[in-house]
Chain A
Amino acid sequence: MRMRGGRITRIAMPIKALAQRFAFALLLALSLALLAMSRADFVWAERARVAIIDVAEPLLAALSRPTQLARSAMRSFEEMMHLQEENQRLRQDNQRLQHWQQVALRLEQDNALLRRLLQVNTDPQMAFVTARVVSEPAGAFVRTVLVNAGQRDGLKRGDAVTADLGFVGRVIEAGQRAARVLLVTDLNSRIPVMVGTARSRGILAGDNGPTPRVEYLPGSAQVSVGDRVVTSGDGGLLPPGLAIGEVASVSDNIVRVRPLVDLARIEWVQVVRYEQPQPNLSPSKFLGPR
């Protein structure tokens, strides 16, 4: 018996090793093939990814609950420490904002009047979906987050995403219950923007660093540190006028922008469901009576 067992082992061992080597080569080839197909934007590669994030979303949401509790506890502690300063700051803010409210009301009236005079109707149709961030921008090569809202909440690829103060990125993959957001800092992010009061047009390009840069600004553009950077809406994919950040530095024609939102610590986002306004171009209005 023992002899036979030994012989079987002697024969089986090399076969097992061979099978292992074969499996190893096969899996490696399969991974490489997948990578090549992702590069070529195969549709089903994206479908498979989306299916995985849909399944993982409840798990991630459950796992992120304790860390979220810890974060909110830490934040309340920080707030307690600075209660008095905060109070004073809020009083000042309040005064300033009341002044701005008066200005805004007046401008709103003016605006409505002028719009009526010109008969323009270009207000974009915007609706918001609020979602929680369930995965961190993990890894050295990408700056993306997963949020717990998807197609069943009306999200689609290309939607703009904002977080309390400003624009943070765009939806690049939308599953049924989860979606991936490409942050403005990612290497692959390109957002049409306007800079400063002169509204110089450019493209905000991420480079995985904390401060993306504005490219393709016209040579004549006057840009200085502190200028506001907002989405321009060029190309019609994103609503215009969403605040992104401020110019952080200008040197050797390289304009860098500091986002308004701390992208490493986003907890909630609002996804903007934007319908491109239909231009009101009936010829009679523009050409007048013939």
Chain B
Amino acid sequence: MVVESAKLWQVRLLGLTPAALSLVAVLLAAVPFGLPFFGPVVPGFAVMSVFYWSIFRPELMPGWAAFILGLVQDALTGVPFGATSIILVLVQGICLSQRKVFVGKSFAIGWWGFVLMAGGAAAVSWAIASLYALHLYDPRPVVVQFVLTVSIYPAVAWFFGRIEIAVLRRAG
């Protein structure tokens, strides 16, 4: 009985891995690297993380986790509260409804799906920011950010895949 409940707790704790990794991703995006011109175009790690886990382990990336991740990112980067939450909740919701398209398919299809999703996220975030400030923002940093994000995605997805095999599958 004791062993069983300990096992249950272990599974629950390990189940937090995707959310915890996403939180680290959000923090890492805010850490100063001191590279000129990098700040405005720092890749959207949070979108990558929410996309990946919503498709491959949807039960471990619920909507409220995406919502909270968005709030934390908003607070850290200084954008209006709720702006990133909208993006991440949308990404999570759309992935959840479309995950059958991606699960068990080749990596290229997953990457293509991510390109569409990250493109949509970039466009929506630009629209929200512009509406909020009633000012048409220069779209170039958003485009560069999008290109960087989709080019880094394979490496990040590979890393998440290793984590999934090493930690989550063992936990059952």
Contact = CB atoms under 8 A, between A and B. Distances in A.
A56 B70 contact: no
Query: Which bracket fits the contact residues of B?
Result: 35 or more
Nearest to B126: A140
B27 A136 contact: no
Interface in A12-60: 20, 23-24, 27-28, 30-35, 37-39, 45, 48-49, 52-53, 56, 59-60
A190 B125 CA distance: 24
- A interface secondary structure, majority: helix
A62 B115 CA distance: 32
Contacts of B37: 264
B131 to A, nearest CB: 9
Contact of A146 (B38, B76, B92): B76
A86 interface: no
Q: Is chain B's interface secondary structure helix, strand, loop, or mixed overall?
A: helix
Nearest to A20: B96
B32 A24 contact: no
Max count, chain B CB within 10 A of own CB: residue among A20, A24, A138: A138
A289 interface: no
Interface string A118-155: 00000000000000011111111110111000000000
Interface residues of A, number: 49
A38 B71 CA distance: 12
Contacts of B128: 35
Interface of A: 20, 23-24, 27-28, 30-35, 37-39, 45, 48-49, 52-53, 56, 59-60, 63-64, 67-68, 71, 133-142, 144-146, 180, 187-188, 208-209, 262, 264-265, 267
Given A63-B27, A133-B32, 19 more contacts: A23-B62, A23-B64, A31-B70, A31-B82, A45-B81, A53-B76, A56-B76, A60-B27, A63-B31, A136-B33, A136-B34, A138-B77, A139-B79, A180-B78, A208-B40, A262-B36, A265-B34, A265-B36, A267-B34
Q: Which 9 A-B pairs have the closest CB atoms?
A: A34-B82, A52-B75, A35-B82, A140-B141, A31-B85, A144-B78, A136-B32, A38-B80, A24-B93
